[in-house]
Chains A and B, each alone.
Chain A
Amino acid sequence: MSTTLKENIEQKENALISGQNDLFTNPDADAARQFFRTKSRALKPKLSTVQEVVKTMLNDGDYIAIGGFGANRIPTAIIHEIVRQGKKRLGFAGHTSTHDFQILCAGECFDRCDVAYIIGLEARGLSPNARRYIESGKVKLTEWTNATLSWRLKAAAMGLSFLPARNILGTNTFQYSAAKEILCPFTGQKYAAFPALFPDFAAIHVHECDVYGNAHVYGASVSDQDLAKASKRVVLTTERLISTEKIRQNPEATFIPFWCVDAVIEVPYGSYPGNMPYEYFSDEEHLREWLKVEKDPEELKKFIDRQILGTKDFYEYLELNGGIEKMKKLRAAELLIPGR
């Protein structure tokens, strides 16, 4: 290597900068391997209940991630139960989060958050209560982006401690992240390095799976394949249980394999009030009600008491909001059935 080229590289290396905010999780790949070494890979039935899973698989202070996309294919029963059991001081991956974030803010369940998208419910508007919670300063924030958190999960899923990428460089998003600039050892190109994200706990709602956790998911899959691989403990809620025979008939369709999964719970209509592709559309009326009651903290408290704390489980909640008749309407909306 010529002296000038070497000096040039040294100069570039000295100029590399780092994001200044907290990294909430350990990206170390060997530490993760030590954990995964002890994780059961036995093909054994994993049926459980929502209450049991939240009680035994999730501890105060854990770092959690929710599958799906905010109000699409979300494990509502688990999110409600986290609020019901009063879990506190959680870390949260605010990755494509909308209604899930809103519920956990109502329960004041987390105190640190990796932010990609928070507070908003996309075209529906912003959550007044989530905004109050975040603006209160009670939650430590580190900035990321949707792709960044996807790739942080992907790095973890690959068993690596980081992945390089070409986004967020030069912005305040980078400045308030925990990313670092690096140089490509082959080309000298500057990249952002994103630390692997290994959540302690993830909940994912799927269309169908067997008792071992071999799962089928239909429609856009967001980051859920990597999320299932990256997370230390994974619970699936499923629209329906299917036989393992059905998994074996079509093995290329297995979206999440059993060894990623620690618990399986059958929760029909489990994404309500969110959308479940090919099953039912989102309940926009109910989501509007959430945004409306949130304007007044007292109203919100009564609403949460009635909807979540005062219901014993997801089915009481579903019944309270229209039950099977409501689901028939949402199914017709999803399937574009005219005349309903």
Chain B
Amino acid sequence: MADYNPLELMICVAARNLEDGSTVVVGTGAPCAAAMLAQKTHSPNMCILFEAGGVAPILPSMPISVGDSRTFHKALMASSMPEIMETCQRGMVDYTFLGGAQIDMYGNINSTMIGKDHARPTVRFPGSGGANDLASLCWRTMMMTVQDAKRFTNNIDFITSPGYLQGGTSRYDAGLPKGSGPYRIITNMAIMGFDDESKKMKVLSINPGYSREDVQDNCGFELMWAPRITETDPPHADELRILREEVDPHRYIIGR
């Protein structure tokens, strides 16, 4: 038995992707935990931004809202939503994390609705919020999610936030900023990137305890595979200790 849960693994892997000196816009929950973990391990000077205006806070605890007062606690700046979004549009923000009910092979994400009729959805979700903005305007988008064939589907009901749209150069042809797009999809089973040419989702490594079959069987579309598939480096003891003791001591995120 591994001595960590899937969420802890996803948070640790996500944190490793956030290098020192970079900027990241996060929401509440796991992405915020990943950013805090990165700061407390290898990236002390990584800058966390929140879409309501918080810049580089010293987070005393996990925020409940991306606009609550924790998001600018001892911050370098308490700014505004346009300030943060315009900084993204200017090309100054490296990473963001998104969530959603569905994702397709090009990394397009649905957080708006299930159903085919926009006026009468079967299930209505909150909608874009800042998700589309961040997916459009940050350089690299990442997602942490549990993987199953319903969530990973090419029959996506609504593209709320852009991935590589229809693949190839379609994202940039649509007018979205050149060189931006989905970067890593971090699941309980594997770590995926995207093919340079086709922009299709591509498995890079498989998490300990899972097989190639598990990863493909729990995905509704055909995955591409990197030439050499490695095993995902599991959470290290020091990462787990900091995550459990300093980042999320009440286990609001990792305990669920």
Contact = CB atoms under 8 A, between A and B. Distances in A.
B159 interface: yes
A218 B82 contact: no
Contact of B28 (A122, A165, A226, A277): A122
A146 to B, nearest CB: 4
B1 interface: no
A31 B60 CA distance: 48
Contact of B64 (A146, A223, A282): A282
A220 interface: yes
A151 interface: yes
Given A119-B125, A146-B130, A336-B60, A169 B120 contact: no
Interface residues of A, number: 66
Contacts of A154: 82
Interface in B110-129: 112, 118-121, 123-129
A220 B132 contact: no
B53 interface: yes
Interface in A3-51: 21
Interface string B87-116: 011000000000000000000100010000
Interface stretch (B35-43, B174-182, B194-202, B222-230): B174-182
Contacts of B161: 171, 173
A209 B137 CA distance: 36
B165 interface: yes
Contact of B81 (A21, A143, A223, A284): A223
Nearest to B161: A171
Contact of A96 (B54, B63, B64, B129): B129
B79 interface: yes
Contacts of B232: none
A275 B53 contact: no
Contacts of A144: 128
A170 B159 CA distance: 9
A226 B72 CA distance: 20
Contact of B129 (A116, A135, A137, A225): A116
A147 B176 contact: no
A126 to B, nearest CB: 7
B55 to A, nearest CB: 9
B67 interface: yes
Interface in A132-160: 134-135, 137, 140-141, 143-148, 150-151, 154
Given A147-B133, A169-B174, A220 B54 contact: yes
Interface of A: 21, 68-72, 94, 96, 98, 115-120, 122-124, 126, 131, 134-135, 137, 140-141, 143-148, 150-151, 154, 165-173, 176, 181, 189-192, 218-226, 275, 277-278, 281-282, 284, 334, 336
Interface of B: 27-29, 50-54, 60, 63-69, 71-72, 78-82, 85, 88-89, 108, 112, 118-121, 123-133, 136-137, 158-162, 165, 170-171, 174-177
